[in-house]
C-alpha cells in the first residue's frame, strides 16, 4: 500500500509511487531469486562432486564429464540415440521391439510365425507355445539389457569372422569392451592377438554350434521350432542329433546364460533394416542389430572382405574367395551397404582390418 499524504497531487505521481513500491517488491523478489539460484547451484555442484569420488569439478573446473552435457541419451560421449538424430536412422530404429524371446513376447503374430516357419520350410512343426513353455523351464525367462538411460554406458564389440582380422592386433581393443559378441565357429584360442580372448555372447544356430565356457552367454538364433527343441535337448537329454544335417546332440554352455533371439526381432531386422533383401539376414547382420539395440556404442570388427577382396574366415587359409558373399540366402552386398551407412552416420565404428 502507498499512502499518499497530498490528495491534490497529480494522479500521475501517485501512480509513480505505486510503481516504485511494486518495483521495490519486485527487486526484493529478484534479489531473493538470485540468492536462491546461487545457493541451488552451489548445492548442486557440491552434491555433484560428492557423487564423483574423484572430485571431478575441483580437479578439472573447465572440463565436465561426458555425461554432463551429453546431447545423447546415455552415459557415453556418443550414444546410440542422440537428440539430433538422423531421420534415416530414427525411421528404422525401434527400441520397443525387444531382441530376446521371453514368455511375454513369445506370442507371435500369424504373419511373423508364417514368415519364420517359411525360412527353413519346416515340415510338421511342434506346437510353438508348448515348446516355448518347456524352453523357459530349462533356461531363464528374462528381458535383459533394455535399460538404456542417462546413467548407462555399455560399450560393445561385434566380432565377425572375416580374414581381414589377420595381423591387425585388435585383440586388446576388442577385449576392452563391456560386451563382446562372436558368432558361429569363431575360435579365439591361438588368435588372441588379433581377435581378443573374451567372449560375453556367442551367437549360433544348431548347425553352427560349438561348446562354450561357463561365463559366455549362448545366443541362439532359431530358424524353426525344432531349433528351440534342440537347445532344450542339447542342455538336457541330448536326444536330438539331427535337424536337416547332423548336429551336436549336447552342448557345453551355462544354461543360466542361454538367450534366444526373438523371431519377431528377426523379422523386424529383415523387413525394416534389409527391406527384404536376400532370403534372410546373415548371423553377422543379426548380431550387429542385436548390439545396436542393447548397447550405447558399437564397434564392428571382422566384417567384409580382406584387402585382396577375399571372403574367408580368419582361422582358415584363404583358398575359397567369394564363397561367403554369394551363398544365395543372404544379400551380403546390401547388408554391407547398410553396415557402411550406419558407420557413416556414426552409429557404429568400423574397424576394417587388413
Catalytic residues: 280, 330
**Is 304 annotated in some ligand binding site?**
yes
**Is 190 annotated in some ligand binding site?**
no
Q: For 284, phi and psi rounded to 5 degrees?
A: -60, -45
Site for ligand NAG, rule CB under 6 A? 94, 96-97, 127, 129-130, 214, 254, 256, 333-334, 337
Judged by beta carbon, residue 17 or residue 97, the one nearer ligand NAG is: 97
**Is 229 annotated in some ligand binding site?**
no
Judged by beta carbon, residue 94 or residue 185, the one nearer ligand NAG is: 94
Cβ 212 to ligand NAG shortest distance, Å: 11
**Is 72 annotated in some ligand binding site?**
no
* Helix axes 225-235 and 128-138, enclosed angle (nearest 10): 30
What whole-number distance in Å separates Cα of residue 81 and Cα of residue 75? 11
Cβ 253 to ligand NAG shortest distance, Å: 10
C-alpha cell at 57: 569439478
Strand order, beta sheet including 179-183: 259-260, 217-220, 201-204, 179-183, 155-159, 297-301, 349-351
At residue 178's C-alpha, the angle toward residues 135 and 93, to 5°, is 70
What whole-number distance in Å separates Cα of residue 79 and Cα of residue 71? 9
**Is 127 annotated in some ligand binding site?**
no
Judged by beta carbon, residue 98 or residue 182, the one nearer ligand NAG is: 98
Judged by beta carbon, residue 113 or residue 315, the one nearer ligand NAG is: 113
What whole-number distance in Å separates Cα of residue 254 and Cα of residue 341? 36
Judged by beta carbon, residue 52 or residue 333, the one nearer ligand NAG is: 333
Judged by beta carbon, residue 131 or residue 159, the one nearer ligand NAG is: 131
- Give the sign of the dihedral formed by CA 97, CA 102, CA 108, CA 113: positive
Cβ 314 to ligand NAG shortest distance, Å: 24
- For every residue of 319-345, DSSP letters joined together read --TTTTT--SS--HHHHHHHHHHHHHT
What whole-number distance in Å separates Cα of residue 63 and Cα of residue 85? 25
C-alpha cell at 315: 582361422
Q: What CA–CA distances, in Å, run from 320 to 119, 258, 283, 301?
A: 26, 33, 20, 21
Distance of alpha carbon 76 from the chain centroid: 13
Cβ 73 to ligand NAG shortest distance, Å: 17
**Is 120 annotated in some ligand binding site?**
yes
Cβ 272 to ligand NAG shortest distance, Å: 8
**Is 163 annotated in some ligand binding site?**
no
Strand locations in 169-290 (E): 179-183, 201-204, 217-220, 259-260
Strand partners, 217: 201
Binding residues for substrate: 120, 161, 184, 244, 280, 284, 304, 313, 330
Binding residues: 120, 161, 184, 244, 280, 284, 304, 313, 330
Amino acid at each position: 500500500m502507498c499512502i499518499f499524504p497530498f490528495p491534490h497531487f497529480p494522479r500521475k505521481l501517485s501512480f509513480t509511487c505505486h510503481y516504485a513500491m511494486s518495483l521495490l517488491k519486485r527487486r526484493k523478489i529478484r534479489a531473493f531469486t538470485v540468492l536462491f539460484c546461487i545457493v541451488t547451484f552451489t548445492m548442486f555442484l557440491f552434491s555433484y562432486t560428492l557423487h564423483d569420488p574423484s572430485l571431478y569439478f575441483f580437479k578439472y573446473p573447465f572440463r565436465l564429464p561426458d555425461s554432463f552435457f551429453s546431447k545423447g541419451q546415455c552415459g557415453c560421449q556418443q550414444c546410440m540415440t542422440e537428440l539430433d538424430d538422423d531421420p534415416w536412422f530414427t525411421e528404422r530404429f525401434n527400441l520397443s521391439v525387444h531382441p530376446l524371446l521371453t514368455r511375454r513376447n513369445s506370442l507371435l503374430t500369424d504373419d511373423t510365425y508364417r514368415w519364420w516357419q517359411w525360412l527353413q520350410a519346416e515340415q510338421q512343426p511342434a506346437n510353438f507355445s508348448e515348446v516355448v513353455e518347456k524352453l523357459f523351464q530349462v533356461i531363464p525367462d528374462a528381458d535383459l539389457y533394455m535399460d538404456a538411460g542417462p546413467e548407462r554406458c555399455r560399450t560393445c564389440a561385434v566380432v565377425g569372422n572375416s580374414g581381414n582380422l589377420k595381423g591387425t592386433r585388435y585383440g586388446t581393443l576388442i577385449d576392452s569392451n563391456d560386451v563382446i559378441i562372436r558368432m558361429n565357429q569363431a575360435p579365439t584360442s591361438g588368435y588372441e592377438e588379433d581377435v581378443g580372448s573374451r567372449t560375453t555372447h556367442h551367437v549360433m544356430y544348431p548347425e553352427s554350434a560349438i561348446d562354450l565356457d561357463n561365463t559366455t552367454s549362448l545366443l541362439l538364433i532359431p530358424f524353426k521350432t525344432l531349433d528351440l527343441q534342440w537347445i532344450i535337448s542339447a542342455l538336457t537329454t541330448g536326444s536330438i542329433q539331427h535337424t536337416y544335417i547332423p548336429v551336436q546332440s549336447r552342448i557345453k554352455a551355462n544354461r543360466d546364460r542361454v538367450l534366444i533371439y526373438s523371431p519377431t526381432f528377426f523379422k523386424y531386422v529383415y523387413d525394416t533394416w534389409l527391406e527384404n533383401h536376400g532370403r534372410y539376414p546373415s548371423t553377422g547382420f543379426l548380431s550387429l542389430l542385436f548390439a545396436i539395440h542393447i548397447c550405447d556404442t558399437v564397434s564392428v570388427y571382422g566384417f567384409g572382405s580382406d584387402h585382396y577382396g577375399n571372403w574367408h574366415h580368419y582361422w582358415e587359409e584363404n583358398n575359397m574367395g567369394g564363397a561367403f558373399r554369394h551363398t544365395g540366402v543372404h544379400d551380403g552386398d546390401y547388408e554391407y551397404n547398410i553396415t557402411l551407412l550406419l558407420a557413416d552416420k556414426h552409429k557404429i565404428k568400423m574397424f576394417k582390418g587388413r
